Amino acid sequence: MKKTLSVTLFLVMAVVLLMALAVPAYAAEPAKKVETNSGVKVMHAADWKEEFPNQYQSWMMTSENDGLDDYLEQYPMLVTLYEGYGFAKDYKGARGHFYDIEDIEATGRPHPMANCWTCKTPDFTNMVNEEGIGAYMKDWTEVQAQITEGISCYNCHANTPGDITITHTYWIDAVGDDFDSIAPANLACGQCHNEYYFEPETKATTIAHSSLAGMAPETMLAYFNDGANFSTDEPFADWTNPRTGVRQIKVQHPEFETFLGAGSPHASTFTCADCHMPTVTAEDGSTYHSHNLVSPLENEELLANTCSLCHKDLVSEVRGVQAEIEDRTNAVGAQLVDLTEMLAAVVESGKYTDEQLAEVRQLARDAQFYWDFVFVENAEGVHNPSLTRDCLNRAESICTEAITALEAVTA
Ligand code: HEC
Ligand code: HEC
Ligand code: HEC
Ligand code: HEC
Protein backbone atom coordinates (compact mmCIF):
# COMPACT_ATOMS: atom_id res chain seq x y z
CA MET A 1 0.00 0.00 0.00
CA LYS A 2 2.75 2.36 1.02
CA LYS A 3 4.59 1.47 -2.16
CA THR A 4 1.54 2.13 -4.38
CA LEU A 5 1.09 5.47 -2.67
CA SER A 6 4.66 6.57 -3.28
CA VAL A 7 4.50 5.33 -6.88
CA THR A 8 1.27 7.31 -7.39
CA LEU A 9 2.83 10.33 -5.72
CA PHE A 10 5.88 10.00 -7.91
CA LEU A 11 3.73 9.78 -11.06
CA VAL A 12 1.70 12.83 -10.05
CA MET A 13 4.87 14.78 -9.40
CA ALA A 14 6.36 13.64 -12.70
CA VAL A 15 3.26 14.76 -14.60
CA VAL A 16 3.25 18.13 -12.82
CA LEU A 17 6.92 18.56 -13.62
CA LEU A 18 6.48 17.61 -17.26
CA MET A 19 3.57 20.00 -17.59
CA ALA A 20 5.60 22.76 -16.03
CA LEU A 21 8.42 22.02 -18.45
CA ALA A 22 6.13 21.86 -21.47
CA VAL A 23 5.15 25.48 -20.84
CA PRO A 24 7.82 27.84 -22.18
CA ALA A 25 10.02 28.71 -19.20
CA TYR A 26 9.85 32.47 -19.42
CA ALA A 27 8.28 35.27 -17.55
CA ALA A 28 4.86 36.33 -18.80
CA GLU A 29 6.37 39.74 -19.45
CA PRO A 30 8.14 40.07 -22.80
CA ALA A 31 11.50 41.81 -22.99
CA LYS A 32 11.63 45.58 -23.44
CA LYS A 33 13.08 47.37 -26.44
CA VAL A 34 15.66 50.09 -26.01
CA GLU A 35 14.66 53.65 -26.80
CA THR A 36 16.92 55.14 -29.42
CA ASN A 37 17.92 58.72 -29.97
CA SER A 38 16.83 59.68 -26.48
CA GLY A 39 20.00 61.27 -25.16
CA VAL A 40 20.52 58.47 -22.63
CA LYS A 41 24.07 57.81 -21.44
CA VAL A 42 25.35 54.39 -20.44
CA MET A 43 25.39 53.55 -16.75
CA HIS A 44 28.37 51.30 -16.19
CA ALA A 45 28.71 48.21 -14.02
CA ALA A 46 30.50 50.16 -11.29
CA ASP A 47 27.42 52.40 -10.98
CA TRP A 48 25.41 49.36 -9.83
CA LYS A 49 28.02 47.85 -7.52
CA GLU A 50 26.33 49.03 -4.29
CA GLU A 51 22.76 48.36 -5.29
CA PHE A 52 23.35 44.93 -6.84
CA PRO A 53 26.51 43.56 -5.21
CA ASN A 54 25.72 39.91 -5.98
CA GLN A 55 25.09 40.44 -9.68
CA TYR A 56 28.10 42.73 -9.87
CA GLN A 57 30.50 40.35 -8.10
CA SER A 58 29.37 37.34 -10.12
CA TRP A 59 29.55 39.38 -13.34
CA MET A 60 33.24 40.03 -12.53
CA MET A 61 33.77 36.27 -12.18
CA THR A 62 33.61 35.61 -15.93
CA SER A 63 37.35 36.37 -15.57
CA GLU A 64 37.72 32.78 -14.29
CA ASN A 65 37.00 31.46 -17.80
CA ASP A 66 40.43 32.47 -19.06
CA GLY A 67 41.59 29.63 -21.37
CA LEU A 68 42.51 30.74 -24.87
CA ASP A 69 42.40 28.06 -27.58
CA ASP A 70 44.38 28.59 -30.76
CA TYR A 71 42.06 27.19 -33.42
CA LEU A 72 44.59 27.43 -36.24
CA GLU A 73 46.95 25.18 -34.30
CA GLN A 74 44.17 22.80 -33.25
CA TYR A 75 42.54 22.67 -36.68
CA PRO A 76 45.19 23.16 -39.41
CA MET A 77 42.45 22.67 -42.06
CA LEU A 78 41.20 26.18 -41.27
CA VAL A 79 44.21 27.73 -42.99
CA THR A 80 42.94 26.19 -46.25
CA LEU A 81 39.21 26.63 -45.67
CA TYR A 82 39.47 30.31 -44.62
CA GLU A 83 42.34 31.15 -47.00
CA GLY A 84 42.32 34.80 -48.01
CA TYR A 85 40.36 35.88 -44.93
CA GLY A 86 41.47 37.21 -41.53
CA PHE A 87 40.41 34.02 -39.76
CA ALA A 88 43.17 32.11 -41.58
CA LYS A 89 45.72 34.42 -39.95
CA ASP A 90 44.49 34.45 -36.37
CA TYR A 91 41.60 32.58 -34.80
CA LYS A 92 41.33 32.14 -31.04
CA GLY A 93 38.46 30.43 -29.26
CA ALA A 94 35.98 32.38 -27.13
CA ARG A 95 36.42 32.83 -23.38
CA GLY A 96 34.79 34.79 -20.55
CA HIS A 97 33.09 38.15 -21.22
CA PHE A 98 35.66 39.78 -18.92
CA TYR A 99 38.29 39.42 -21.66
CA ASP A 100 36.41 40.67 -24.68
CA ILE A 101 38.14 44.07 -25.00
CA GLU A 102 41.57 42.57 -24.40
CA ASP A 103 40.87 39.86 -27.00
CA ILE A 104 39.63 42.17 -29.74
CA GLU A 105 42.59 44.48 -29.14
CA ALA A 106 44.99 41.56 -29.45
CA THR A 107 43.51 39.87 -32.51
CA GLY A 108 45.69 39.50 -35.57
CA ARG A 109 42.63 39.96 -37.80
CA PRO A 110 42.20 43.37 -39.38
CA HIS A 111 39.35 45.47 -37.97
CA PRO A 112 39.24 48.71 -39.88
CA MET A 113 35.82 49.80 -38.74
CA ALA A 114 33.91 50.38 -35.54
CA ASN A 115 31.39 47.66 -36.46
CA CYS A 116 33.81 45.18 -34.81
CA TRP A 117 32.81 46.72 -31.46
CA THR A 118 29.19 45.63 -31.94
CA CYS A 119 29.29 42.74 -29.46
CA LYS A 120 32.02 43.96 -27.16
CA THR A 121 30.91 46.96 -25.16
CA PRO A 122 27.83 48.93 -24.08
CA ASP A 123 29.67 52.13 -24.98
CA PHE A 124 29.42 51.25 -28.66
CA THR A 125 25.90 49.81 -28.39
CA ASN A 126 24.80 53.13 -26.95
CA MET A 127 26.71 55.06 -29.63
CA VAL A 128 24.73 53.23 -32.35
CA ASN A 129 21.49 53.79 -30.44
CA GLU A 130 22.16 57.50 -30.18
CA GLU A 131 23.85 58.24 -33.51
CA GLY A 132 22.29 55.67 -35.80
CA ILE A 133 23.95 53.20 -38.14
CA GLY A 134 26.51 55.75 -39.32
CA ALA A 135 28.46 54.78 -36.19
CA TYR A 136 29.31 51.38 -37.72
CA MET A 137 31.54 53.02 -40.34
CA LYS A 138 33.54 55.08 -37.87
CA ASP A 139 37.21 54.38 -37.51
CA TRP A 140 37.90 51.49 -35.13
CA THR A 141 40.67 53.31 -33.24
CA GLU A 142 38.68 56.49 -32.86
CA VAL A 143 35.94 54.51 -31.12
CA GLN A 144 38.46 52.54 -29.07
CA ALA A 145 39.43 55.75 -27.29
CA GLN A 146 35.84 56.11 -26.05
CA ILE A 147 35.43 52.57 -24.71
CA THR A 148 35.40 52.23 -20.94
CA GLU A 149 34.27 48.64 -20.31
CA GLY A 150 33.43 45.28 -21.88
CA ILE A 151 30.03 43.56 -22.09
CA SER A 152 28.03 44.80 -19.14
CA CYS A 153 24.70 45.57 -17.50
CA TYR A 154 23.54 48.02 -20.20
CA ASN A 155 23.85 45.37 -22.94
CA CYS A 156 21.11 43.24 -21.39
CA HIS A 157 19.27 45.65 -19.08
CA ALA A 158 19.77 49.16 -20.54
CA ASN A 159 19.86 51.37 -17.42
CA THR A 160 17.29 49.34 -15.47
CA PRO A 161 19.04 46.22 -14.12
CA GLY A 162 16.59 43.42 -13.52
CA ASP A 163 14.46 44.20 -16.57
CA ILE A 164 15.65 42.54 -19.73
CA THR A 165 15.90 45.27 -22.37
CA ILE A 166 17.12 44.49 -25.87
CA THR A 167 19.62 47.22 -26.66
CA HIS A 168 21.06 45.89 -29.94
CA THR A 169 18.51 47.20 -32.44
CA TYR A 170 19.50 44.90 -35.34
CA TRP A 171 18.43 42.05 -33.04
CA ILE A 172 14.96 43.53 -32.63
CA ASP A 173 14.69 43.42 -36.45
CA ALA A 174 16.14 39.89 -36.54
CA VAL A 175 13.24 38.34 -34.64
CA GLY A 176 10.54 40.64 -36.01
CA ASP A 177 6.99 39.83 -34.94
CA ASP A 178 8.23 36.92 -32.82
CA PHE A 179 9.81 39.29 -30.29
CA ASP A 180 7.11 39.01 -27.62
CA SER A 181 6.95 35.22 -27.81
CA ILE A 182 10.65 34.68 -27.11
CA ALA A 183 11.88 34.36 -23.55
CA PRO A 184 13.66 37.59 -22.54
CA ALA A 185 16.65 35.59 -21.27
CA ASN A 186 17.03 33.99 -24.73
CA LEU A 187 16.73 37.33 -26.51
CA ALA A 188 19.34 38.90 -24.21
CA CYS A 189 22.06 36.39 -25.13
CA GLY A 190 20.91 36.15 -28.75
CA GLN A 191 21.91 39.80 -29.25
CA CYS A 192 25.52 38.64 -29.71
CA HIS A 193 25.44 34.84 -29.80
CA ASN A 194 24.05 34.81 -33.33
CA GLU A 195 25.02 34.59 -36.98
CA TYR A 196 25.48 38.15 -38.30
CA TYR A 197 27.03 39.90 -41.31
CA PHE A 198 28.09 43.40 -42.21
CA GLU A 199 25.85 44.95 -44.89
CA PRO A 200 28.17 45.48 -47.89
CA GLU A 201 27.57 49.23 -48.28
CA THR A 202 26.53 50.58 -44.88
CA LYS A 203 28.80 48.10 -43.02
CA ALA A 204 26.02 47.88 -40.43
CA THR A 205 25.74 44.76 -38.31
CA THR A 206 22.79 42.91 -39.81
CA ILE A 207 21.12 39.53 -39.39
CA ALA A 208 20.03 37.25 -42.23
CA HIS A 209 16.59 36.66 -40.75
CA SER A 210 13.61 38.67 -39.57
CA SER A 211 11.64 35.95 -37.77
CA LEU A 212 12.24 32.69 -35.92
CA ALA A 213 11.22 30.71 -39.01
CA GLY A 214 13.78 32.60 -41.10
CA MET A 215 16.70 31.46 -38.99
CA ALA A 216 16.86 27.84 -40.20
CA PRO A 217 20.31 27.30 -41.77
CA GLU A 218 18.85 26.54 -45.22
CA THR A 219 16.68 29.68 -45.09
CA MET A 220 19.65 31.85 -44.12
CA LEU A 221 21.74 30.33 -46.89
CA ALA A 222 18.97 31.07 -49.40
CA TYR A 223 18.95 34.66 -48.10
CA PHE A 224 22.72 35.02 -48.59
CA ASN A 225 22.42 33.49 -52.07
CA ASP A 226 19.78 36.00 -53.21
CA GLY A 227 21.39 39.23 -54.45
CA ALA A 228 18.08 41.10 -54.05
CA ASN A 229 18.70 41.16 -50.28
CA PHE A 230 21.85 43.29 -50.58
CA SER A 231 22.69 46.84 -51.58
CA THR A 232 25.30 45.46 -54.03
CA ASP A 233 22.63 43.42 -55.79
CA GLU A 234 24.74 40.27 -55.74
CA PRO A 235 24.80 37.25 -53.44
CA PHE A 236 26.56 38.06 -50.19
CA ALA A 237 30.18 37.05 -49.60
CA ASP A 238 32.47 37.75 -46.67
CA TRP A 239 35.49 37.08 -48.86
CA THR A 240 36.69 35.27 -51.97
CA ASN A 241 39.12 32.41 -51.66
CA PRO A 242 42.05 33.58 -53.85
CA ARG A 243 42.93 30.15 -55.22
CA THR A 244 39.48 28.71 -55.90
CA GLY A 245 37.55 31.90 -56.65
CA VAL A 246 34.75 30.71 -54.35
CA ARG A 247 32.81 33.61 -52.81
CA GLN A 248 32.57 32.32 -49.26
CA ILE A 249 30.30 33.06 -46.31
CA LYS A 250 31.89 33.05 -42.84
CA VAL A 251 29.38 31.90 -40.26
CA GLN A 252 29.72 33.30 -36.72
CA HIS A 253 28.66 31.66 -33.44
CA PRO A 254 24.96 30.85 -34.17
CA GLU A 255 24.12 29.75 -30.61
CA PHE A 256 20.69 31.40 -30.63
CA GLU A 257 19.73 30.03 -34.05
CA THR A 258 20.95 26.55 -33.11
CA PHE A 259 19.41 26.39 -29.66
CA LEU A 260 16.04 27.71 -30.86
CA GLY A 261 16.18 25.85 -34.18
CA ALA A 262 14.13 22.84 -35.33
CA GLY A 263 14.66 19.67 -33.30
CA SER A 264 16.14 21.36 -30.22
CA PRO A 265 15.28 19.23 -27.18
CA HIS A 266 15.05 22.18 -24.79
CA ALA A 267 14.00 25.18 -26.89
CA SER A 268 10.71 25.49 -25.02
CA THR A 269 11.76 24.12 -21.64
CA PHE A 270 14.87 26.07 -20.66
CA THR A 271 16.43 29.45 -21.46
CA CYS A 272 20.11 30.33 -21.89
CA ALA A 273 19.97 31.72 -18.34
CA ASP A 274 18.43 28.53 -16.89
CA CYS A 275 21.45 26.56 -18.07
CA HIS A 276 24.24 29.16 -17.91
CA MET A 277 23.31 31.46 -15.01
CA PRO A 278 23.04 29.40 -11.81
CA THR A 279 20.51 30.44 -9.17
CA VAL A 280 22.47 31.22 -6.02
CA THR A 281 21.26 31.75 -2.46
CA ALA A 282 22.81 34.83 -0.90
CA GLU A 283 23.85 35.12 2.75
CA ASP A 284 20.56 36.83 3.63
CA GLY A 285 18.62 33.89 2.17
CA SER A 286 17.45 35.68 -0.98
CA THR A 287 18.21 34.19 -4.38
CA TYR A 288 19.75 35.78 -7.44
CA HIS A 289 21.06 34.77 -10.85
CA SER A 290 24.80 34.34 -10.95
CA HIS A 291 26.13 36.53 -13.74
CA ASN A 292 29.15 34.30 -14.14
CA LEU A 293 28.18 32.41 -17.30
CA VAL A 294 29.25 28.82 -16.80
CA SER A 295 28.63 25.45 -18.38
CA PRO A 296 25.63 23.66 -16.81
CA LEU A 297 27.94 20.68 -16.39
CA GLU A 298 29.83 22.65 -13.74
CA ASN A 299 26.61 23.39 -11.86
CA GLU A 300 26.25 20.44 -9.43
CA GLU A 301 23.03 21.74 -7.95
CA LEU A 302 21.32 22.15 -11.32
CA LEU A 303 22.45 18.69 -12.42
CA ALA A 304 21.27 17.06 -9.19
CA ASN A 305 17.97 18.92 -8.76
CA THR A 306 16.76 19.42 -12.32
CA CYS A 307 18.67 17.66 -15.08
CA SER A 308 18.95 14.31 -13.30
CA LEU A 309 15.15 14.01 -13.33
CA CYS A 310 15.52 12.88 -16.95
CA HIS A 311 19.26 12.47 -17.61
CA LYS A 312 20.99 9.64 -15.73
CA ASP A 313 24.46 10.98 -16.45
CA LEU A 314 24.27 14.22 -18.40
CA VAL A 315 28.01 14.84 -18.30
CA SER A 316 28.93 11.66 -20.16
CA GLU A 317 25.93 12.03 -22.45
CA VAL A 318 27.06 15.53 -23.46
CA ARG A 319 30.71 14.52 -23.83
CA GLY A 320 29.60 11.60 -26.03
CA VAL A 321 27.57 13.82 -28.37
CA GLN A 322 30.39 16.39 -28.51
CA ALA A 323 32.96 13.71 -29.42
CA GLU A 324 30.72 12.36 -32.18
CA ILE A 325 30.13 15.86 -33.61
CA GLU A 326 33.83 16.75 -33.33
CA ASP A 327 34.82 13.62 -35.30
CA ARG A 328 32.31 14.26 -38.04
CA THR A 329 33.20 17.97 -38.22
CA ASN A 330 36.83 17.00 -38.75
CA ALA A 331 35.94 14.36 -41.35
CA VAL A 332 33.68 16.66 -43.38
CA GLY A 333 36.24 19.48 -42.99
CA ALA A 334 38.91 17.19 -44.47
CA GLN A 335 36.63 16.44 -47.41
CA LEU A 336 36.14 20.20 -47.95
CA VAL A 337 39.92 20.64 -47.93
CA ASP A 338 40.16 17.98 -50.68
CA LEU A 339 37.53 19.79 -52.73
CA THR A 340 39.35 23.11 -52.20
CA GLU A 341 42.67 21.70 -53.40
CA MET A 342 41.09 19.97 -56.41
CA LEU A 343 39.26 23.13 -57.43
CA ALA A 344 42.38 25.29 -56.85
CA ALA A 345 44.40 23.03 -59.17
CA VAL A 346 41.72 23.23 -61.86
CA VAL A 347 41.55 27.05 -61.56
CA GLU A 348 45.36 27.32 -61.65
CA SER A 349 45.47 25.21 -64.83
CA GLY A 350 43.74 28.14 -66.55
CA LYS A 351 41.90 25.77 -68.88
CA TYR A 352 38.35 26.46 -67.73
CA THR A 353 36.10 29.51 -67.83
CA ASP A 354 34.28 31.00 -64.84
CA GLU A 355 31.08 29.88 -66.49
CA GLN A 356 32.24 26.27 -66.55
CA LEU A 357 33.23 26.45 -62.87
CA ALA A 358 30.19 28.37 -61.64
CA GLU A 359 28.19 25.35 -60.49
CA VAL A 360 31.12 23.81 -58.60
CA ARG A 361 31.88 27.12 -56.90
CA GLN A 362 28.26 27.51 -55.82
CA LEU A 363 28.22 23.99 -54.36
CA ALA A 364 31.55 24.55 -52.58
CA ARG A 365 30.19 27.76 -51.03
CA ASP A 366 26.97 26.07 -49.87
CA ALA A 367 28.80 23.03 -48.46
CA GLN A 368 31.22 25.18 -46.48
CA PHE A 369 28.36 27.29 -45.11
CA TYR A 370 26.69 24.22 -43.58
CA TRP A 371 29.99 22.95 -42.22
CA ASP A 372 30.94 26.33 -40.73
CA PHE A 373 27.50 26.63 -39.11
CA VAL A 374 28.54 23.65 -36.96
CA PHE A 375 32.23 24.41 -36.57
CA VAL A 376 31.67 27.88 -35.07
CA GLU A 377 28.79 26.98 -32.75
CA ASN A 378 30.29 27.08 -29.28
CA ALA A 379 28.46 24.17 -27.64
CA GLU A 380 29.91 21.63 -30.08
CA GLY A 381 26.56 20.26 -31.12
CA VAL A 382 24.78 19.75 -27.80
CA HIS A 383 22.46 22.76 -28.02
CA ASN A 384 20.71 20.88 -30.79
CA PRO A 385 22.24 17.56 -31.87
CA SER A 386 19.63 16.94 -34.55
CA LEU A 387 20.08 20.29 -36.35
CA THR A 388 23.85 19.91 -36.06
CA ARG A 389 23.85 16.44 -37.62
CA ASP A 390 21.53 17.69 -40.35
CA CYS A 391 23.98 20.50 -41.22
CA LEU A 392 26.91 18.08 -41.36
CA ASN A 393 24.93 15.68 -43.56
CA ARG A 394 24.08 18.51 -45.93
CA ALA A 395 27.69 19.73 -45.99
CA GLU A 396 28.92 16.25 -46.79
CA SER A 397 26.45 15.49 -49.54
CA ILE A 398 26.83 18.91 -51.21
CA CYS A 399 30.62 18.52 -51.05
CA THR A 400 30.36 15.12 -52.74
CA GLU A 401 28.11 16.66 -55.38
CA ALA A 402 30.70 19.40 -55.97
CA ILE A 403 33.49 16.87 -56.44
CA THR A 404 31.36 14.92 -58.94
CA ALA A 405 30.49 18.14 -60.81
CA LEU A 406 34.17 19.12 -60.91
CA GLU A 407 35.12 15.72 -62.30
CA ALA A 408 32.46 16.16 -64.99
CA VAL A 409 33.92 19.57 -65.97
CA THR A 410 37.45 18.22 -66.33
CA ALA A 411 36.52 14.81 -67.83
C1 HEC B 1 27.10 42.21 -25.95
C2 HEC B 1 27.41 40.90 -26.56
C3 HEC B 1 27.15 39.65 -25.77
C4 HEC B 1 26.03 39.31 -25.05
C5 HEC B 1 24.76 40.09 -24.85
C6 HEC B 1 26.29 37.98 -24.53
N7 HEC B 1 27.53 37.54 -24.93
FE8 HEC B 1 28.44 35.83 -24.36
N9 HEC B 1 30.11 36.35 -25.37
C10 HEC B 1 30.26 37.49 -26.13
C11 HEC B 1 31.61 37.57 -26.65
C12 HEC B 1 32.17 38.66 -27.54
C13 HEC B 1 32.30 36.44 -26.13
C14 HEC B 1 33.76 36.08 -26.36
C15 HEC B 1 34.66 36.91 -25.47
C16 HEC B 1 36.14 36.64 -25.68
O17 HEC B 1 36.49 35.54 -26.12
O18 HEC B 1 36.95 37.54 -25.39
C19 HEC B 1 31.32 35.70 -25.33
C20 HEC B 1 31.61 34.54 -24.62
C21 HEC B 1 30.68 33.81 -23.89
C22 HEC B 1 30.94 32.57 -23.20
C23 HEC B 1 32.29 31.88 -23.08
C24 HEC B 1 32.50 31.03 -24.30
C25 HEC B 1 33.63 30.04 -24.18
O26 HEC B 1 33.84 29.31 -25.18
O27 HEC B 1 34.27 29.96 -23.13
C28 HEC B 1 29.77 32.13 -22.67
C29 HEC B 1 29.52 30.86 -21.88
C30 HEC B 1 28.76 33.11 -23.01
N31 HEC B 1 29.34 34.13 -23.73
C32 HEC B 1 27.43 32.99 -22.67
C33 HEC B 1 26.51 34.03 -22.79
C34 HEC B 1 25.18 33.99 -22.26
C35 HEC B 1 24.56 32.81 -21.55
C36 HEC B 1 24.61 35.21 -22.52
C37 HEC B 1 23.26 35.72 -22.08
C38 HEC B 1 23.01 35.69 -20.63
C39 HEC B 1 25.59 36.00 -23.25
N40 HEC B 1 26.72 35.26 -23.38
C41 HEC B 1 25.38 37.28 -23.75
C42 HEC B 1 29.29 38.45 -26.37
C43 HEC B 1 28.07 38.52 -25.70
C1 HEC C 1 24.66 39.12 -20.84
C2 HEC C 1 23.44 39.67 -20.31
C3 HEC C 1 23.46 40.27 -18.93
C4 HEC C 1 24.38 41.13 -18.40
C5 HEC C 1 25.65 41.66 -19.05
C6 HEC C 1 23.90 41.48 -17.10
N7 HEC C 1 22.72 40.81 -16.83
FE8 HEC C 1 21.58 40.96 -15.16
N9 HEC C 1 20.37 39.48 -15.85
C10 HEC C 1 20.49 38.87 -17.07
C11 HEC C 1 19.54 37.79 -17.15
C12 HEC C 1 19.36 36.86 -18.33
C13 HEC C 1 18.84 37.78 -15.93
C14 HEC C 1 17.78 36.81 -15.48
C15 HEC C 1 16.50 37.10 -16.14
C16 HEC C 1 15.50 35.99 -15.92
O17 HEC C 1 15.60 34.96 -16.56
O18 HEC C 1 14.61 36.20 -15.07
C19 HEC C 1 19.36 38.90 -15.15
C20 HEC C 1 18.89 39.27 -13.89
C21 HEC C 1 19.32 40.40 -13.21
C22 HEC C 1 18.69 40.94 -12.03
C23 HEC C 1 17.41 40.40 -11.38
C24 HEC C 1 17.74 39.57 -10.15
C25 HEC C 1 18.40 38.26 -10.51
O26 HEC C 1 19.58 38.09 -10.12
O27 HEC C 1 17.78 37.45 -11.20
C28 HEC C 1 19.44 42.02 -11.65
C29 HEC C 1 19.19 42.93 -10.47
C30 HEC C 1 20.54 42.15 -12.58
N31 HEC C 1 20.42 41.16 -13.53
C32 HEC C 1 21.51 43.10 -12.49
C33 HEC C 1 22.61 43.16 -13.35
C34 HEC C 1 23.76 44.05 -13.16
C35 HEC C 1 23.90 45.04 -12.03
C36 HEC C 1 24.61 43.83 -14.19
C37 HEC C 1 25.97 44.42 -14.45
C38 HEC C 1 26.94 44.29 -13.37
C39 HEC C 1 23.99 42.81 -15.03
N40 HEC C 1 22.80 42.42 -14.48
C41 HEC C 1 24.54 42.34 -16.21
C42 HEC C 1 21.37 39.19 -18.07
C43 HEC C 1 22.45 40.04 -17.93
C1 HEC D 1 19.57 22.90 -21.85
C2 HEC D 1 20.70 23.66 -21.36
C3 HEC D 1 21.26 24.74 -22.25
C4 HEC D 1 20.61 25.85 -22.76
C5 HEC D 1 19.16 26.23 -22.58
C6 HEC D 1 21.60 26.62 -23.45
N7 HEC D 1 22.82 26.01 -23.36
FE8 HEC D 1 24.58 26.77 -23.96
N9 HEC D 1 25.50 25.04 -23.47
C10 HEC D 1 24.90 23.96 -22.86
C11 HEC D 1 25.85 22.88 -22.73
C12 HEC D 1 25.58 21.51 -22.12
C13 HEC D 1 27.06 23.34 -23.29
C14 HEC D 1 28.40 22.61 -23.38
C15 HEC D 1 29.14 22.88 -22.13
C16 HEC D 1 30.44 22.14 -22.00
O17 HEC D 1 31.02 21.71 -23.00
O18 HEC D 1 30.90 22.03 -20.84
C19 HEC D 1 26.82 24.71 -23.71
C20 HEC D 1 27.79 25.54 -24.25
C21 HEC D 1 27.58 26.89 -24.55
C22 HEC D 1 28.62 27.82 -24.95
C23 HEC D 1 30.11 27.50 -25.05
C24 HEC D 1 30.78 27.74 -23.73
C25 HEC D 1 30.91 26.55 -22.90
O26 HEC D 1 30.74 26.66 -21.67
O27 HEC D 1 31.21 25.46 -23.44
C28 HEC D 1 28.03 29.02 -25.18
C29 HEC D 1 28.69 30.31 -25.62
C30 HEC D 1 26.61 28.84 -24.95
N31 HEC D 1 26.37 27.54 -24.55
C32 HEC D 1 25.66 29.83 -25.11
C33 HEC D 1 24.29 29.61 -25.01
C34 HEC D 1 23.28 30.56 -25.42
C35 HEC D 1 23.57 31.92 -25.98
C36 HEC D 1 22.08 29.98 -25.18
C37 HEC D 1 20.71 30.51 -25.48
C38 HEC D 1 20.48 30.93 -26.87
C39 HEC D 1 22.33 28.67 -24.58
N40 HEC D 1 23.67 28.48 -24.52
C41 HEC D 1 21.35 27.80 -24.13
C42 HEC D 1 23.60 23.90 -22.41
C43 HEC D 1 22.64 24.85 -22.66
C1 HEC E 1 11.74 16.44 -18.64
C2 HEC E 1 12.94 15.68 -19.00
C3 HEC E 1 14.25 16.47 -19.14
C4 HEC E 1 14.87 17.29 -18.22
C5 HEC E 1 14.37 17.66 -16.83
C6 HEC E 1 16.12 17.69 -18.81
N7 HEC E 1 16.24 17.14 -20.05
FE8 HEC E 1 17.78 17.44 -21.32
N9 HEC E 1 16.89 16.24 -22.70
C10 HEC E 1 15.68 15.61 -22.54
C11 HEC E 1 15.36 14.87 -23.74
C12 HEC E 1 14.12 14.02 -23.97
C13 HEC E 1 16.44 15.09 -24.64
C14 HEC E 1 16.62 14.50 -26.04
C15 HEC E 1 17.36 13.21 -25.91
C16 HEC E 1 17.60 12.51 -27.21
O17 HEC E 1 17.27 13.03 -28.27
O18 HEC E 1 18.23 11.43 -27.16
C19 HEC E 1 17.38 15.94 -23.94
C20 HEC E 1 18.58 16.36 -24.50
C21 HEC E 1 19.46 17.22 -23.87
C22 HEC E 1 20.71 17.69 -24.45
C23 HEC E 1 21.22 17.37 -25.85
C24 HEC E 1 22.35 16.38 -25.79
C25 HEC E 1 21.90 15.04 -25.31
O26 HEC E 1 22.43 14.62 -24.27
O27 HEC E 1 21.00 14.45 -25.93
C28 HEC E 1 21.30 18.50 -23.52
C29 HEC E 1 22.62 19.24 -23.64
C30 HEC E 1 20.42 18.55 -22.37
N31 HEC E 1 19.32 17.76 -22.59
C32 HEC E 1 20.70 19.28 -21.24
C33 HEC E 1 19.88 19.31 -20.13
C34 HEC E 1 20.17 20.09 -18.94
C35 HEC E 1 21.39 20.97 -18.75
C36 HEC E 1 19.17 19.85 -18.07
C37 HEC E 1 18.99 20.44 -16.69
C38 HEC E 1 18.95 21.90 -16.63
C39 HEC E 1 18.22 18.96 -18.73
N40 HEC E 1 18.70 18.65 -19.96
C41 HEC E 1 17.03 18.52 -18.18
C42 HEC E 1 14.88 15.66 -21.43
C43 HEC E 1 15.13 16.39 -20.29
Convert the pLDDT of each residue in 98-151 to its tens digit. 999 999 999 999 888 999 999 999 999 999 999 999 999 999 999 999 999 999
Q: What b/e sequence results for 100-138 when a residue is b if at least 16 CB atoms lie within 10 Å of its CB, and e otherwise? A: bbebbeebeeeeebbbbbbbbbbbbbbbbbeeebebbeb
Query: Is 17 contained in some domain?
Result: no
Closest ligand to residue 314's CA: 4
Nearest to 136 by CA among 201, 224, 195, 205: 205
Under the banding of pLDDT at 50, 70 and 90, the label for residue 225 is very high
- Whether 137 and 202 have beta carbons less than 8 Å apart is answered as yes
Is residue 82's pLDDT more than 80?
yes
Does 307 contact ligand 4 (Cβ within 6 A)? yes
Query: Is 156 contained in some domain?
Result: yes
Query: Is 19 contained in some domain?
Result: no
Query: Is 18 contained in some domain?
Result: no
Query: Is 3 contained in some domain?
Result: no
CA–centroid distance, residue 14 to ligand 3 (Å)? 25
pLDDT digits (tens, 9 = 90+) for 157-180: 999 999 999 999 999 999 999 999
What burial class does residue 3 get, using C-beta atoms within 10 Å of its C-beta: 0-12 exposed, 13-18 middle, 19+ buried? exposed
Residues within 6 Å of ligand 2 by CB: 27, 45, 48, 52, 55-56, 59, 151-153, 155-157, 161-162, 164, 185, 188, 273, 277, 288-289, 291
Range of the domain at 198: 33-410
Count of domains forming the chain: 1
Q: What end-to-end distance do the CA atoms of the chain give, in Å? A: 78
Report the pLDDT value the prediction gives residue 204, as an integer from 0 to 100. 97
How much is the average pLDDT of 247-264?
A: 98
Torsion 354-250-264-325 (CA) sign: positive
What are the beta bridge partners of residue 240? 247
Residue minimizing CA distance to atom 18 of ligand 3: 295
Which DSSP string do the residues of 31-74 spell out, in sequence order? PEEPPPSS---PPPGGGGTTT-HHHHHHHHGGGG-----BHHHH
Query: Is 332 contained in some domain?
Result: yes
Ligand 2 atom closest to the CA of 59, numbered from 1: 38
Closest ligand to residue 163's CA: 2
Alpha carbons within 13 angstroms on the beta-carbon side of residue 189 total: 23
CA–centroid distance, residue 183 to ligand 4 (Å)? 19
Kindly report the CATH number assigned to the domain that includes residue 81: 1.10.1130.10
Query: Is 28 contained in some domain?
Result: no
Query: Is 304 contained in some domain?
Result: yes
